[in-house]
Amino acid sequence: MAYQRYDKSKGRSGGRKDFSSKPKSFTKPERSFDEPERNIPDAADREETAGLIVGRNPVMEALKSGKAIDTIYVNSEAGGSIGAITRIAREKGIVIKNVSDQKLTQMCAGASHQGIIASGACAEYVSVEDILNISKKKGKAPFIIICDEIEDPHNLGAIIRTAETAGADGVIIPKRRSASLNATVYKTSAGAASWLPVARVANLGAAMDELKKNGVWIYGTDASGSDYTEADFTGPAAFVIGSEGFGIGRLVKDKCDFLVKLPMFGKITSLNASVAAGIFMYEAVKQRTAAGK
């Protein structure tokens, strides 16, 4: 089958759009000056921060016990034992985000946070090697999904759900500028995050190099590529799904072996990241089933 290799001499086209807009005017309801201000998270915030570990001693003990921690939110100006806690977290490779005291208060609905909150992961992360070993145990060609800066947890959860049902070996996400295995991802995945291995890596490019060394072909999903139905996905394959707003990044794009696209026939020239991912995955399923692989 014919497919197009990416020409690295061509730069990435297009620029970022300005999505800024003026806030809508509204009339603020009157409030008695005797009534205290309340900073209560909305439904989305509560869903995002379910399973929190609040306060210095609880977070420290969670780290010592080896509990699966996804992210630590900290007010670095709080002082005291905060420095010791964050040092241990860094040694364990846990993502640390510096936030304001107000943000911490909002996250835990006013509980005493002492300048630090940890968010537990809904599942343990694995390594890229672990995912490759899964395909070896199956005796089949690797089938892997790489998410490049998928920041919407609903999109990541939907991708994980589809990848699990399509029989993928695992999903790879970056540590930075990406949704993580939080409560929203778990809920949107309909529990698939408990079954499908997810590797969280510091450098996507290095992870892609590791896949290539193991014979995996990298297919970037990009509008400049060839029609996806003309590509051969029956061999060892990894699909790179780009971010919701800007697609796959230039450096990641340069490391792709092939670029493939979905044909667009309407006025809108893009699809939701999770929808597009599902189409690519099931094209691979169709081809592998027909080939008996």
Do 82 and 56 contact (CB within 8 A), yes or no?
yes
Pick 43-120's CATH classification: 1.20.1250.20, 3.30.1330.30, 3.40.50.300, 1.10.760.10: 3.30.1330.30
Q: Do 43-120 and 128-290 have matching folds?
A: no
pTM: 0.72
What is the chain's pLDDT, residue by residue, as a tens digit (293 residues)? Answer: 444 555 544 444 444 444 444 444 444 444 333 333 333 343 334 444 456 888 888 888 888 877 788 889 998 787 788 889 999 999 888 889 899 988 998 888 877 888 999 887 788 899 999 999 999 999 999 999 999 989 999 999 999 999 999 999 999 999 888 888 887 888 899 889 989 999 999 999 999 999 999 999 999 999 999 999 999 999 999 999 998 778 899 999 999 999 999 999 999 888 899 999 999 999 999 999 999 87
Residue 115 gets the label, from left (phi > 0), alpha (psi -120 to 50) or beta, of left
Domain positions in the chain: 43-120, 128-290
Cα–Cα distance, 187 to 158 (Å, whole number): 9
Tokens describing residue 251? 């450096």
Helices (H), 69-227: 82-91, 101-107, 128-138, 153-165, 183-188, 204-213
CATH of domain 128-290: 3.40.1280.10
